[in-house]
Structure 1
């Protein structure tokens, strides 16, 4: 079986030395990839330079991306040629448009005009005490997967922070339906530690609870193989 996995977290550049990123290490994606590789499946891993990765394997192809734009360019053709996508990557929700000092914003008669400007410096000056960073929303790539390949089995991930179980499951169900996914892995950042990864795997019919990254990988493997 041809398995496509995303892992790690994207980074959106502000300038040549700064960026907006997240803390995803890619560890869970690595566990998942290793389990499929150990059982003889072909794995394409789309990840970032800094994320942890499985050891070299003849059945493993690694694709390195950095931001949402390169992720989309890489993911779209791969989705069309794989049977399963396990989309565990933490994808940036916003990307920088323009960064400027507070004085320029206060002097502007039309703040919307600032959204048409772009920084040209390789490194934006740090002289000002306050800077304003304008962001724009990035495309929700998970919502495009079924357009690219209606037959692919899609497993998405939903991470929230400090919410009730009810809210976490409700948001995951919305994602399940909206993105036409087979499963959504719902987790809360406050329930993730070096020795624990508490999560719920949702489908239209069931909710299953797991407590470690290894257990998540095994459950996902079981579901993919059973549903094939």
Structure 2
């Protein structure tokens, strides 16, 4: 349990700060709130006071304490600015202290997490990016905004990440001494793309949600995580203990995993890896032609990344593979367990109305050699990831 101060500032996403406060409380943390004058125009301080059972600090001139910003700064184990407006980012980066929020932040020596939310033009503006770099240089953790529809009615980068994801990232920072403390976990996520020509590719429907959930769960358990990520449609976790390695094709993925695997204690291969690629990619865009109505591609198998890497594992290393199947789930997963050299296969059904691709929920079956098949109930992908990481930690501890 930690003492967390949440700063809500003047972004239209201020209402989501309430969900973050509730999420942190559900994790068992004690939460107090500071609000800027602009935030008070968007969300009533009385709402946060009722939730936290603590007065909300909105002014330096209060009857409760003659120096409230110092009392709260000394109380704080972690400061979370959510949503963080361009204004508060600029103040924090430049040491300004002209209201309750900026003054308390300046006085706070505890770690800080800043979660920006603003119009995409404001986010991309040179002063904002310069201020963010300064905050990072000062040791502040930045959880970047997501792509999506903005309040102005058009899409862009600047949307606040979902509150549950923010809470998970905060929890990861607070639980760095968990059961995987000191362990290095390598995770692959998202889909690979195999080029057909400079503008076309063969891809798949993977959203990357399972891989992101695994990364958050491993970070929450205290691990140092390397995330090798292909194409994803969800935000990446943010943590000082996270290294992100972007890749495009299956060959890129193999190169990255082989490079990182020797330093890892475990590999979780959640990426949706292409099984085939064009035998030869065109150097230029293939144009329509009057003398043909079709275009046939010749495909060849890609390298089996899971098997290749599992064959190289040393004693004590664990390799977990994922089997996404549209039919004969158990039979295909058993075959994969026997042929790939993995210590565990996490099997799930994809495709159809209830498929796992893109969904926030999943139902998986765990297969291990010489053990009974373990079918888990349907749960959120974050729930699957947490349970899987807990099992991984147990396996590492027992040397199993």
Contact 2:212 2:237 in 1 (8 A): no
Q: Given the alignment of the two structures, is residue 119 of structure 1 paired with residue 276 of structure 2, yes or no?
A: no
Deviation per CA, 1:24-48: give whole Å up to 9, x if none.
0110111111011122210000002
When normalised by structure 1's length, the TM-score is: 0.84
Matched residue SS, 2:211: helix
Deviation per CA, 1:90-130: give whole Å up to 9, x if none.
001111124xxxxxxxxxxxxxxxxxxx634x101122321
Aligned counterparts of 1:11 and 1:182: Cα–Cα separation in 2: 27
Find the counterpart in structure 1 of residue 384 from structure 2. 216
Report the alpha carbon displacement of residue 199 of structure 1 after superposing the two structures with TM. Answer: 1.6
Contact 2:325 2:348 in 1 (8 A): yes
Contact 1:192 1:198 in 2 (8 A): no
Contact 2:191 2:231 in 1 (8 A): no
Find the counterpart in structure 2 of residue 206 from structure 1. 372
Change (3 A) 1:214 1:192: farther
Contact 2:188 2:229 in 1 (8 A): yes
Deviation per CA, 1:166-213: give whole Å up to 9, x if none.
x31121112112122121011111443535312211112132223131
Aligned counterparts of 2:195 and 2:220: Cα–Cα separation in 1: 36
Aligned counterparts of 2:231 and 2:272: Cα–Cα separation in 1: 14
Among 3, 9, 14, the residue aligned to 2:196: 14
Find the counterpart in structure 2 of residue 153 from structure 1. 318
Q: Given the alignment of the two structures, is residue 174 of structure 1 paired with residue 300 of structure 2, yes or no?
A: no
Report which structure shows greater RCO (CA 8 Å, sep ≥6): 1
Contact 2:217 2:382 in 1 (8 A): no
Greater percentage in strand: 1
Change (3 A) 1:195 1:52: closer
Aligned counterparts of 2:348 and 2:232: Cα–Cα separation in 1: 23
Find the counterpart in structure 1 of residue 149 from structure 2. none
Change (3 A) 1:30 1:71: same
Find the counterpart in structure 2 of residue 183 from structure 1. 344
Aligned counterparts of 2:267 and 2:235: Cα–Cα separation in 1: 17
Aligned counterparts of 1:67 and 1:89: Cα–Cα separation in 2: 11
Find the structure with the greater CA-based Rg: 2
Report the alpha carbon displacement of residue 79 of structure 1 after superposing the two structures with TM. Answer: 1.1
Aligned counterparts of 2:309 and 2:263: Cα–Cα separation in 1: 12
Q: Given the alignment of the two structures, is residue 79 of structure 1 paired with residue 292 of structure 2, yes or no?
A: no
Aligned counterparts of 1:90 and 1:81: Cα–Cα separation in 2: 23
Q: Which runs of 4+ in 1 moved over 6 A?
A: none
Instruction: For structure 2, list consecutive stretches of 5 or more residues without a partner in the other structure.
Output: 1-182
Aligned counterparts of 2:329 and 2:209: Cα–Cα separation in 1: 22
Q: 195-204 or 29-38, which moves further after superposition?
A: 195-204
Aligned counterparts of 2:270 and 2:232: Cα–Cα separation in 1: 15
Change (3 A) 1:91 1:153: same
